[in-house]
């Protein structure tokens, strides 16, 4: 039974807050949180990410960035990252997560690029990738639960 999902990206202000918001909407009975490998601790989500999510009917304006810790990683049933490098870094730093650590776009064998500092159009493209990946994970998690 999957009860807790952790989404991880670099700064925890763009991709992971968007994925967290989408997963919370599609999997309302599961605890979803996010963190960053080099999180801008305490910072809110990027304003472009907030706008894109608001346009999708999801409010992430209260989000505050958290750093990934062993305790947070240990609590999660599934950890979803944005790219292969993050997956490798986390599996080296926290070997106990192997077997529950996947890329968000795992089923597409794809990385989700970081839109930080990019134009809104790039954020929108990243949002679409995240949304498609979240939809796939939601189907699979629902079938497991």
In a domain, 97, yes or no: yes
pTM score, whole prediction: 0.96
Confidence category of residue 40, pLDDT binned at 50, 70, 90: confident
Over residues 66-71, the mean pLDDT reads: 98
**Domain with 48 in it: what CATH number?**
3.40.50.2300
User: Other CB atoms closer than 10 Å to residue 54's CB: what's the count?
Assistant: 13
The residues annotated as belonging to the active site are: 9, 15, 114
35: left (phi over 0), alpha (psi -120 to 50) or beta: beta
Cβ–Cβ contacts within 10 Å for residue 143, how many? 7
Q: Is residue 145 part of a domain?
A: no
Residue 76 is part of which domain span? Answer: 4-139
Report whether 35 contacts 67 (CB < 8 A). Answer: yes
d(CA 54, CA 50): 6
* Assigned domain for 9 exists: yes
Radius of gyration for the chain, computed over Cα atoms and rounded to the nearest angstrom: 14
Q: Domain for residue 144, yes or no?
A: no
On whether the CB atoms of residues 83 and 103 are closer than 8 A, the answer is yes
Q: How confident is the model at residue 144 (pLDDT cuts 50, 70, 90)?
A: confident
**Average pLDDT of 20-40?**
96
């Amino acid at each position: 039974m999957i009860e807790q999902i952790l989404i991880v990206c670099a700064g925890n202000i763009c991709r992971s807050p968007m994925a967290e918001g989408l997963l919370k909407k599609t999997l309302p009975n599961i605890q979803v949180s996010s963190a960053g490998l080099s999180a801008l601790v305490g910072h809110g989500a990027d304003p472009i990410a907030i706008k894109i999510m608001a346009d999708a009917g999801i409010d992430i304006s209260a989000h505050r960035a958290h750093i990934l810790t062993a305790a947070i990683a240990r609590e999660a049933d599934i950890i979803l990252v944005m790219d292969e490098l993050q997956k490798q870094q986390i599996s080296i730093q926290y070997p106990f997560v192997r077997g529950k650590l996947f890329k968000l776009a795992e089923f597409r064998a794809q990385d989700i690029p970081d839109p930080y500092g990019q134009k809104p159009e790039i954020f929108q493209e990243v949002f679409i990738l995240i949304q498609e990946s979240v939809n796939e994970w939601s189907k699979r998690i629902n079938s497991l639960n």
